[in-house]
Amino acid sequence: MELTRTADLWWKNAVVYCLDVETYSDSDGDGHGDFRGLTQHIDHLATLGVTCVWLMPFFPSPDRDDGYDITDFYGVDPRLGSHGDFVDFVRTARDRGMRVIADLVVNHTSDKHPWFRSARSSPDSPYRDWYVWRDEPPADAEKGVVFPDQETSLWQYDEEAGQYYLHQFYKHQPDLNVANPAVREEIARVMGFWMELGLSGFRVDAVPFLLETQGKDARLPDPHDYLADLRAFLTRRQGDAVLLGEVNLPYPDTMRFFGAGDGVGDELTMCFDFIGMQRTYLSLARQDAGPLAEALRERPAPPRDAHWATFLRNHDELTLDKLTDAERQEVFDAFGPDKDMQLYGRGLRRRLPTMLGGAAARIRMAYSLLFSLPGTPVLFYGEEIGMAEDLRAEGRLAVRTPMQWTPGRNGGFSTADPDDLPGPVVDGEYGPEHVNVSAQRRDPDSLLSWIRMLVERYRECPELAWGEYRVLKTGEASVLAHRCDIDGGTVVAVHNLADAAVDVVLNLDGLDDSCVLTDLLVDGHTPVSADGQAHVELPSYGCRWFRSTRPEDAEAGR
């Protein structure tokens, strides 16, 4: 296909990398990561092949929800740096060919935000109507509590205000009232501000909650019109900016958040594929590709310019809320049997390598899946070196430990006293002495080298992002085979989710013995028969990517 297309809709074959400035690299030894430290590590991201950095919240915050509780949407948390440091980072990233997006957390503010302080102080406050108030909580006030370990209701009585306010997350995060036009204008102003400073878009936090019509008394006439307005504003300011939305709903409901726009998509540019992610874990647990194949078959095609965003881990609990109770239990049994590994009754506070028992081939196969499945892959910092969780940290912080750069003190994250760090540095066999960037970058057999190679191949195979995909029947339950076709080019990927070697026969419609399948991850090629069959051998947890090639090109190494 013409690669020029990939430069316009850049997000379709982007590599997104999520990080928290606070836990990435501390340049001044105060124990907190900062923008200067992050910028000094820009070439780690560039050589990994990242094309878009997603910054978790870096705004001033009392930090009761790790920065998702904001007190100034226009500020930079002084512990992390200044606006100058932010701009320096964005500019340096751009020099390395990377775009930067950041969390847009506007479903709620911190209760310490000056708007809420004013709002609660008097019914006459100009900010009173920026939040959602009630004299009495509704009868179903406890329905939909997100953090059941800490909250029992969506409504909290406020002594000072003499009323209840809505908070769909923690009680210290009052919901903003987006039905108020002044709030909507302010949200646009915040977006415009950061785009002016160089951002290429936003990861939009908790989108269905932001647009929620059930919990809220103040309702938007049409929440999706509002989302389309936000997108229109974004692209008026910057044509190729994106909205990457957190929407964890069944596929048909999620589809609505892409918007229609005559089939082009006029709301979120990308939605995370939470369903595909959850079924991937079920498949891994069962060593049976079935649940994932089913998700891929069910998953609707997004509008023309939109895309799914795929991931194996993010900064939150590994949510399994869309599996049945029995399926969730299977994943718990396989990957997080201890109560301490589980969270909110729906998820796991672990990272991938420990869940997969440290089995190198299995971990590599899982990332090969991530980069070959259709959708924009999103990595969470530390995945590229196989970082693990630290269950000593509270709740979701178990997976948000400091980045491990070197085998030295604090993993090279900071020179501060370990007690002054935002969280513990991982201890034991996954600690920095064993898992760190500096050792892996010199080791061609490291996970880091593997992931770099996957990123390179993925970027060289726009078919994966742009092509039409089909899941192929192989007759082997443990094998997921899929093909992506566009403009006469075909890429095929085959993954064995089981720990026993297996041979499969692929039936490749439209291909014949005028072509061969050239391996993309190793040297080699596999013949295709006149009727389009190819025999493929896979070791335990094996994975292979192929491109259909004419034999003379394969021989010439093209």
Nearest distance in Å: CB 90, ligand NOJ = 22
Q: Give me the least distance between CB of 74 and ligand NOJ, in Å please.
A: 18
**DSSP secondary structure string, 268-309?**
-SEEE-HHHHHHHHHHHHHT-SHHHHHHHHHSPPPPTT-EEE
Q: Is residue 205 among the annotated active site residues?
A: yes
205 belongs to the binding site for ligand NOJ (CB under 6 A): yes
Q: How far is the CB of 276 from ligand NOJ (least distance, A)?
A: 18
Residues 143-182 that bind ligand NOJ (CB under 6 A): 169
Please report how close the Cβ of residue 116 comes to ligand NOJ at its closest, in angstroms: 15
- For ligand NOJ, the binding residues in 402-431 under the rule CB under 6 A are none
- Residue with Cβ nearer ligand NOJ (270 or 447): 270
Nearest residue to ligand NOJ, scored by beta-carbon proximity? 68
Please identify, using beta-carbon distances, which residue of 158 and 246 lies nearer to ligand NOJ: 246
Nearer to ligand NOJ, 206 or 387 (CB): 206
Strand 525-527 to 516-519 pairing? antiparallel
Residues 6+ apart with CB under 8 A from 160: 120, 121
How many residues sit close enough to ligand NOJ to count as binding (CB under 6 A)?
A: 8
Structure tokens that stand for 290 in this block: 């079935």
* Residue 473 beta carbon to ligand NOJ: minimum distance, rounded to whole angstroms: 37
The interface mask with ligand NOJ, positions 301-340, x = CB under 6 A, is ---------------x------------------------
CB closer to ligand NOJ, 65 vs 288: 65
From candidates 17, 68, 165, 405, binder to ligand NOJ by CB under 6 A: 68
Q: Which is nearer to ligand NOJ, 316 or 390 (CB)?
A: 316
Tokens of residue 118, six digits? 């004013």
- Residue 381 or 545 with smaller CB distance to ligand NOJ: 381
- In one letter, which amino acid is 156? Q
Of 322 and 452, the one with the shorter C-beta distance to ligand NOJ is 322
CA distance 332 to 510: 42
Q: Which residues pair with 133 in a beta bridge?
A: 165
Residue 206 binding ligand NOJ, by CB under 6 A: yes
Query: Which of 108/482 has CB closer to ligand NOJ?
Result: 108
Q: Considering beta carbons, is residue 208 or 353 the nearer one to ligand NOJ?
A: 208
Q: Is 111 in the site for ligand NOJ (CB under 6 A)?
A: no
Q: How far apart are alpha carbons 35 and 489 in whole angstroms? A: 42
* Least Cβ distance, residue 550 to ligand NOJ (angstroms): 47
Q: What contacts 415, CB < 8 A, 6 or more positions away? A: 26, 29, 409
Instruction: Yes or no: say if 179 and 218 are a contact pair by the CB < 8 Å rule.
Output: yes
- Give per-residue burial for 131-143: e unless 16+ CB within 10 Å, then b: bbbeeeebeebee
Separation between Cα atoms, residue 322 and residue 324, nearest integer Å: 7
In the bound state with ligand NOJ, the residue whose beta carbon lies nearer, of 121 and 150, is: 150
- Smallest distance, Å, CB 146 to ligand NOJ? 7
Q: What does the DSSP 8-state code read for residue 56?
A: P
Whether 554 contacts 518, CB under 8 Å: yes
Question: Nearest 10 degrees: CA dihedral of 132, 133, 137, 143?
Answer: 10
Dihedral over alpha carbons 176, 253, 350, 284 (to 10 degrees) = -170
| Nearest residue to 398 (alpha-carbon basis) of 414, 422, 434, 370 | 422
258 contacts ligand NOJ (rule: CB under 6 A): no
Provide the mask over 227-246, with x wherever binding to ligand NOJ is found by CB under 6 A and - wherever it is not: -------------------x
Three-class DSSP category at 398? helix
Task: Say which residues have a Cβ less than 8 Å from residue 334's Cβ, sequence separation at least 6.
Answer: 284, 285, 355
Give me the least distance between CB of 206 and ligand NOJ, in Å please. 4
* In the complex, least distance from residue 400 CB atom to ligand NOJ, rounded to whole angstroms: 9
Does residue 65 touch ligand NOJ according to CB under 6 A? yes
Shortest distance (Å) from residue 272 CB to ligand NOJ: 10
Q: Least distance in Å: CB of 316 to ligand NOJ?
A: 5
22, 65, 69, 205: which is the annotated catalytic residue?
A: 205
Residue whose token pair is 């993993």:
411
Report CA 157 to chain centroid distance, whole Å: 34
Residue 449 exposed, middle or buried by CB count within 10 Å (0-12, 13-18, 19+): middle
Q: Please state, as a whole number, how many other Cβ atoms lie within 10 Å of the Cβ of residue 441.
A: 16
DSSP 448-499: HHHHHHHHHHHHH-HHHHHSEEEEEP-S-TTEEEEEEEETTEEEEEEEE-SS
Nearer to ligand NOJ, 63 or 519 (CB): 63
* Exposure b/e, 301-314, CB count within 10 A at least 16 = b: ebbebbbbbbbbbb
Is 246 catalytic? The answer is yes
Backbone angles phi, psi at 85, to 5 degrees: -65, -35
75 by Cβ neighbours in 10 Å (0-12 / 13-18 / 19+) ranks as middle
The residues, ordered by sequence, that sit 6+ positions from 337 with a Cβ below 8 Å of its Cβ are none
Find the catalytic residue in 22, 175, 246, 384.
Answer: 246
The binding site for ligand NOJ (CB under 6 A) comprises: 65, 68, 105, 169, 205-206, 246, 316
- Catalytically active residues, by annotation: 205, 246
